[in-house]
Amino acid sequence: MRSWTAHPRSWSILPLLFLLFLSTVVSSSSRPQWVLQRVPVVLPQQTEVRPAPHFLSEARLDVTSPCDPECHMRTPRPSYWDLRRLLAYETLHSDGRLTETAIGIYGYNPNSDTTPVYSVGSSGKAHVRRKRQIFGHDGRFSIAGQDFLLKYPFSVAVKLSTGCSGTLVGDRHVLTAAHCVHDGKNYVKGAQRLRVGFLKPKQRDTQSSSLYLFSNITNHVEGGPGPYAPPTNDRMKFQWIRAKRTHVPKGWIKGNANDIGMDYDYALLELKKPHKRRHMKLGVSPPAQRLPGRRVHFSGFDNDRPGQLVYRFCRAGEETSDLLYQHCDAQPGASGSGVYARMWDGRRRRWERKVIGVFSGHQWVERQGASQEFNVAVRITPLKYAQICYWIKGNFVDCREG
């Protein structure tokens, strides 16, 4: 499968799109639904000033960890007091100040979490993969043309000045990976003056915008009807907005992606001014088997395709209570992208895309002389939903249903 560009050869993917469309029409007829659930409350309690960061290390755009899915399966569930420690957070302000906030957890029942601790493939073992970031044929699609780039859901993807990607989840909030701003020991270069880039057209599109209706490739994959047309190859540029503050959970700040730290590889940025774009809602991550076609989607700015927004979808694989392992092709730079799904919202009577995770990157481990590689996304659990939602809303009343 070739990458999607404005090249005539792009039409070679049409047979595949047709097959995907047929499969999703079947799956969408059953209307996989978002199941709203009451989430616990995570409230800040006490905030203290911490020593100023060093900002010495370069941001790493990939993540390594000695803990594979089987390792995570053996990790005991954190206690209530562990969770309070892990969900405490640091806030980096644009003036260089650093604060640490303790939190309280209310209404949390660990027995109500029905998420499987670990699930495996049909073989009963974790998949062994080659040490590479593209598995087999490259299944990524380079999105071009402002009629696509500036419309939802592609318009929610943004670029961080440290080299990662992010997703708009509020009027002035961006969800990304913690390792994009913090290496596990200290904040990285550029974190204090962090900027978020929004794609903007350099020149007016000479093509008629009516030619490219919003019946894009994601609608084909997710079950929506409509014709397919290749996009124009417009010249694009980034417009940058400074971050006002950055929140990072203490679960990450205890060593670079150690056995538990990878579960908390997420961060939230608050911008200095509203971005005035449509954002994507947060959602509690459902079990993989409940996802339409068991698929996940995300868009980001992969380094091997500079200046391009890259979209991909793939089948979700193994999962733990905090991590989702999938087969999405990606390169460094895509870290921090919001992993989302599209399901039916029964209360609002419409299809709704929601961010259910954060793409952390490529995790590889050496075991008995063999390399195992996994693409890892951090799942938004009820507790993480409560925490991130509070960061966005500033109150817990609007964060009780995820």
Structure tokens at 165: 């990607």
Q: Is 279 a catalytic residue?
A: no
The catalytic position among 113, 171, 205, 259 is 259
Catalytic residue (one of 142, 335, 337, 360): 335
Q: Which candidate, 307, 303, 297, places its Cα nearest to that of 337?
A: 297
Q: Find the catalytic residue in 179, 182, 220, 279.
A: 179
CA distance to 153, 205, 273, 338, per residue, from 208 (Å)? 21, 8, 32, 30
Catalytic residue check, 179: yes
Q: Look up residue 349 and give its DSSP letter.
A: T
Per-residue pLDDT of the chain (402 residues; tens, 9 = 90+): 333 333 333 333 333 344 344 334 434 446 888 988 889 999 999 999 999 998 998 888 777 666 777 777 777 888 999 999 999 999 999 999 999 999 999 998 876 654 544 443 333 333 333 334 666 677 788 887 777 888 999 999 999 999 999 999 999 999 999 999 999 899 999 999 999 999 887 665 444 333 233 334 555 555 443 333 344 444 678 999 999 999 999 999 975 445 567 899 999 999 999 998 999 999 999 999 999 988 999 999 998 888 889 999 988 888 888 999 887 888 889 999 999 999 998 888 999 999 999 999 876 655 566 666 778 899 999 999 999 999 999 999 999 887
pTM of the model: 0.82
Establish whether 259 is a catalytic residue: yes
Structural domains of the chain, ranges and CATH numbers in brackets: 8-399 (2.40.10.10)
Residue 373: C-alpha distances to residues 23, 84, 130, 329, 362 (Å): 29, 31, 7, 12, 7
